[in-house]
């Protein structure tokens, strides 16, 4: 199974800050990576697919990059509504796996 | 508007069975891959199963294979998850999700239904 690790597991940042979350795969997964945002008590929302493609309706301050085993989600200017947990997910093969999540808190 | 509405979650004893349903609308259900993803309380996301529109291709998480069965009724635009031999570690919110085309990326999610396995 392909394991995904995320770093950091928690971060606290101020409004307007640039925030970067990393996701590392245990083996190469091409660009078969997605990012989700989940707020408490809600289902996840798709942000990015295919490593860098912004999903329809997602604000342009979210950006995905990377390929192979190293991936990054960047929020260019943190907004209050970005307080959430972020998960990466690989689809290079079954079983589909998710990273453990990164909780983003607004200072 | 795409809508996915899960139902069927409940408190069940270890070893028991439960069937979850997910009623879909707002898209062509019969040609859409569908999945179940779960989330244990306070934990991360875990993919459980996926089923293609024609039911010919089905995939399961290893820990549920042989105990869980995913199937669908395209006439009713509903996907099901039959869960047998339930264990405490199956306790979770179960989400139904629609895949983005044939790509295993989940772009629409239901609100989830809670399954609690406890005596």
The model's confidence at residue A102, banded by pLDDT at 50, 70 and 90, is very high
Answer whether residue B102 shows pLDDT above 90: no
Number of other CB atoms surrounding residue A15 within 10 Å: 11
Q: Give the separation between CA B30 and CA B79, rounded to whole angstroms.
A: 10
Q: What average pLDDT does this structure show over A80-106?
A: 97
Cα separations in angstroms, B51 against A70, B13, B74, B117: 29, 27, 12, 25
CA distance B30 to chain A (A): 22
Instruction: Provide the phi-psi class of B26: left if phi over 0, else alpha when psi is between -120 and 50, else beta.
Output: left
Cβ-based neighbours of A104, under 8 Å, separated by 6 or more: A11, A12, A13, A19, A21, A75, A78, A82, A83, A84, A85, A86
The answer to whether A15 faces chain B, any CB pair under 8 Å, is no
Q: How far is A43 from chain B (nearest CA, A)?
A: 6
Size of interface A-B (CB pairs under 8 A): 53
Answer whether A103's CB lies under 8 Å from A39's CB.
Answer: no
| C-beta atoms of A89 and B106 within 8 A | yes
Q: In which band, very low, low, confident or very high, does the pLDDT at A27 lie, cut at 50, 70 and 90?
A: very high
Looking at residue B60, what is its pLDDT? Answer: 98
pLDDT of residue B103: 83
pLDDT of B27 higher than 90: yes
Please tell me which residue of chain A has the smallest CA distance to B5: A43
- Indicate the length of chain A as a whole number: 107
Average pLDDT of chain A to the nearest whole number? 97
């Amino acid at each position: 199974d392909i394991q995904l690790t995320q770093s950091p597991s928690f971060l606290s940042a101020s409004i307007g800050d640039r925030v970067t979350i990393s996701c590392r795969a245990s083996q190469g997964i091409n660009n078969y990576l997605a990012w989700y945002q989940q707020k408490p008590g809600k289902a996840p929302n798709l942000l990015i697919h295919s490593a860098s493609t912004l999903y329809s309706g997602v604000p342009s301050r979210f950006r995905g990059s990377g390929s192979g085993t190293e991936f990054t989600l960047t929020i260019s200017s943190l907004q209050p509504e970005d307080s959430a947990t972020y998960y990466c997910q690989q689809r290079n093969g079954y079983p589909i796996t998710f990273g453990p999540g990164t909780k983003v808190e607004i200072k | 508007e795409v809508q996915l509405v899960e139902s069927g979650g409940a408190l069940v004893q270890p070893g028991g069975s439960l069937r979850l349903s997910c009623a879909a609308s707002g898209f062509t259900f019969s040609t859409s891959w569908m999945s179940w993803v779960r989330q244990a309380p306070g934990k991360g996301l875990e993919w459980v199963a996926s089923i293609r529109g024609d039911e010919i291709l089905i995939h399961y998480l290893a820990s549920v294979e042989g105990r869980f069965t995913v199937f669908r009724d395209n006439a009713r635009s509903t996907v099901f998850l039959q869960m047998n031999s339930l264990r405490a570690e199956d306790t979770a919110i179960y989400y139904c999700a629609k895949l983005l085309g044939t790509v295993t990326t989940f772009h629409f999610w239901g609100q989830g239904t809670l399954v609690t396995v406890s005596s």
